[in-house]
Amino acid sequence: MDNSVSSQDSLVSVRNLSFSRGDKIIFDDISLDFERGKISAIMGPSGTGKTTLLKLIGGQLFPDKGSITVDGQNVHKLRRTELYNLRKRLGMLFQSGALLTDMSVYDNVAFPLREHTHLPESMIRTLVLMKLQAVGLRGARNLMPNELSGGMARRIALARAIALDPMMILYDEPFTGQDPISMGVLVHLIKSLNNILGLTSIIVSHDVHDTSAIADYIYVLSGGKIVGQGTPKEIQQSDSEWVQQFMTGAADGPVHFHYPAKDYVDDLMSVGKRY
């Protein structure tokens, strides 16, 4: 099923990617495509290396095997300056927001503009206020990052990620640890930014409901392999037991409740051994 998706209009294509940390295999020969202008989601249980995949796409990590192409450029064959030029066209929303703690909200959003453009300060002000308005936090511009709630910090980080009008945004667990209202706000924002700015979005998440509400296409990863892919509807109707367990959140199924161990009764009876 690996190469079943057509790659003609994909902005990011991952081919035969393998990656391991020490002895642990994170990805085992997987191929994915992310279509231009769509919201794609990568789902899977914690610890399956979803964030690692984003870091590979952003060129912060190097794969053991395989290639990742973003907008026709092989990320890991680029020279440093070329990679940096590519990154200017990518936005990434970190799980923690990753706001610079020694700067105000305003300066945080202005940061990429000041670093990469030579725009006059008045123009930067206009741009920053526009981006803050888009996330609904224009009034919070003088706050410091430690004065923000988690949801606000993520929205500021989103404003910063779109500051340079990127072609694509990578979202790392955008819904984790949010109350229902900020969750709703973020879902709405991701959807509307994607439609209004014509972005391509890649969301990494294990939140089934909200992600399937906005995603156009979903990949489900587990144990370094793709175990399911398709539109949200297709995924929900998947006949894979594993995908079903993940989507419904059943406690036992192909993923066992118990960590691998020897027989329970034997274990209890083997008195005298400490482990």
Partner 1 sequence: MIRILQYLGKSTRTSFTKLGRATYFLLQTVSGIPSVLLRPRLLLNQLYSVGVLSFLIITISGLFVGMVLGLQGYYTLSDFGAEETLGVMVAASLVRELGPVVSALLFAGRAGSALTAEIGLMKATEQLSGMEMMAVDPIKRIITPRFLAGLLAMPLLAALFSAVGIIGGQIIGSGLLGVDEGAYWSQMQASIDFHDDILNGVIKSIVFGFVTSWIALFEGSDAIPTSEGVSRATTRTVVNSAFSILGLDFILTALMFGE
Is 260 in a helix, a strand, or coil?
Answer: coil
User: Nearest distance from residue 249's CB to partner 1, in Å?
Assistant: 28
Cα separation, 256 vs 198, in Å, equals 41
For residue 135, give both structure tokens: 């996330």
Nearer to partner 1, 100 or 250 (CB): 100
At its nearest, how many Å lie between partner 1 and the CB of residue 87?
A: 4
Nearest-angstrom CA–CA distance, 215 and 197: 16
Write the CB contacts of 19 (distance below 8 Å, at least 6 apart in sequence).
Answer: 25, 26, 27, 49, 52, 56, 61, 63, 64
- Looking at residue 262, its amino acid is K
For partner 1, the closer CB: 99 or 189: 99
Crossing angle of helices 180-197/150-161, nearest 10°?
Answer: 10
What tokens does 260 get?
């691998």
Amino acid symbol at 206: H
Q: Measured from the CB of residue 111, what is the shortest distance to partner 1 in angstroms?
A: 7
User: Cα 113 from chain centroid?
Assistant: 23
Which of 157, 189 has the CB closer to partner 1? 157
- Cα gap 91→131, rounded to integer Å: 13
Under the rule (CB under 8 A), what is the footprint of partner 1?
A: 55, 58, 60, 84-85, 87-88, 90, 92, 94-96, 98-101, 111-112, 115-116, 157, 160
Minimum distance of partner 1 from residue 252's CB (angstroms): 32
User: 150 or 184, CB closer to partner 1?
Assistant: 150
CB of 96 to partner 1, least distance (A): 5
Q: Give whichever of 4 and 101 is closer to partner 1, judged by the CB atom.
A: 101
